[in-house]
Amino acid sequence: MSNEIKKLPKRSDVKIEDTWRLEDIFATDEAWETEFVAVKELIPNILEYKEKLSHSAEVLLAALQLRDAVENRVGKIYVYANMRHDQDTTFPLYQSQKSRATTLSTEYSTATSFITPEILTIDESKLTSFLEQNEELLLYKHAIDRINHMRPHTLTADKEALLAQMNEVGNASSDTYGMLNDADLKFPTIEDENGNKVEITHGNYISFMESTNREVRKNAFEGMLGTYKSYENTFASTLSGAVKKNNFFAKVRNFDSARHASLSENKIPESVYDQLIETVNEIFLYFTGFLN
């Protein structure tokens, strides 16, 4: 038994072989910065294809290829920044990188927002002929089919651009939740099976809940959930903000509900969701009755 409280170790104290290698994405923060600047300058080039997608199969292909190339680079920038931030959510440099990466992603979304509405202005027979004329364009057949599927929920180019710019603002509640849950929230210390004092963390909570010692499970549960309860009004506010955002985008895009919007892009009927919930409830009731 030890009176020393075991706390979550700093990343610098963790063995290097137990950490992820973000250097495989960017060797240094300076390399990330160089790529960030380069991609920021490249994004406006996508707009050169605006109002030209219907000109030919080759123009449409070039626009889609440029969009994908930029998206891949934006994705690497975004993933690196977010994972660096996850290493230490309180470190100012990585807070800044994450914020800038999010803004860059919004700039990319805004620049590419004309593509879907403009493709929908092209007659379907003409799109079909484009696919027949250019074998490379066939790679995008499924993507074009999905665009056609979302036709009733796609707005004009100017409105799509406006919605793209709204994404960063709309994610404010989610960002606030993330900082509170991952950086500012502190959980209490409990005793493990061996009498050692251990600070509860997101990482070790499940281990405590799987303990054979009932008291450990009880203390972990009450420590974790009790901490969340003390911030229940703040968490309720962030949840409310996220719900309002989802409902807003669903309404603007002419969906019946936020659930309809979430499932529609992947062509999942709402009946599948309802059946899943019904099945889970039946299983729960079965085992509850069995245990009783």
Per the CB < 8 A criterion, the answer to whether 170 and 224 are in contact is no
pLDDT in tens, 191-225: 999 889 999 999 899 999 999 999 999 999 999 99
Q: For the ranges 1-5, 104-108, 164-168, 204-208, which has the lowest average pLDDT?
A: 1-5
| pLDDT-based confidence at residue 229 (cuts at 50, 70, 90) | very high
- The region, left, alpha or beta by phi > 0 then psi within -120 to 50, assigned to residue 6 is beta
CA separation for the pair 76, 89 (Å, rounded): 19
Cα torsion 243, 249, 251, 255: sign: negative
pLDDT band for position 3 (50/70/90)? low
Over its C-alpha atoms, the chain yields an Rg (Å, rounded) of 25
* Contact (CB, 8 A) for 95 and 171: no
Give the model's pLDDT for residue 234: 95
Average pLDDT value for the chain: 90
CATH superfamily placement of domain 11-170: Oligopeptidase f, N-terminal domain (1.20.140.70)
pLDDT at 1: 54
- How far is the C-alpha of 243 from the C-alpha of 257, rounded, in Å? 11
What is d(CA 234, CA 211) in angstroms, rounded to the nearest whole number? 31
- pLDDT value at residue 291: 52
Mean pLDDT lowest among 162-166, 171-175, 228-232, 286-290: 286-290
**What pLDDT does residue 88 have?**
80
Assigned CATH for 186-230: 1.10.287.830
Higher pLDDT, 4 or 177: 177
pTM as predicted: 0.65
Angle between the 29-42 and 57-87 helix axes, to the nearest 10 degrees?
Answer: 150
| Residue of higher predicted confidence among 208 and 183 | 208
pLDDT value at position 133?
93
pLDDT on residue 150:
83
pLDDT for the residue 99: 93
Q: Domain ranges in the chain?
A: 11-170, 186-230, 255-292
pLDDT confidence of residue 9: 66
Nearest residue to 161 via CA among 120, 122, 117, 192: 117
Comparison of pLDDT for 39 and 14, the residue scoring more: 39
pLDDT classification of 135: cutoffs 50, 70, 90: very high
Q: Would you place residue 164 in the very low, low, confident or very high pLDDT band (cuts 50, 70, 90)?
A: confident
pLDDT-derived band at 90 (thresholds 50, 70, 90) equals confident
Q: Over range 47-56, report the average pLDDT.
A: 96
Orientation angle between helical segments 92-112 and 157-170, nearest 10 degrees:
160
Residue 240 pLDDT grade (very low, low, confident, very high; cuts 50, 70, 90): very high
pLDDT at 8: 63
Contacts of 201 (CB under 8 A, 6+ apart): 8, 187
DSSP 123-190: -HHHHHHHHHH-GGGGGGHHHHHHHHHTGGG---HHHHHHHHHHHHHHTHHHHHHHHIIIII----EE
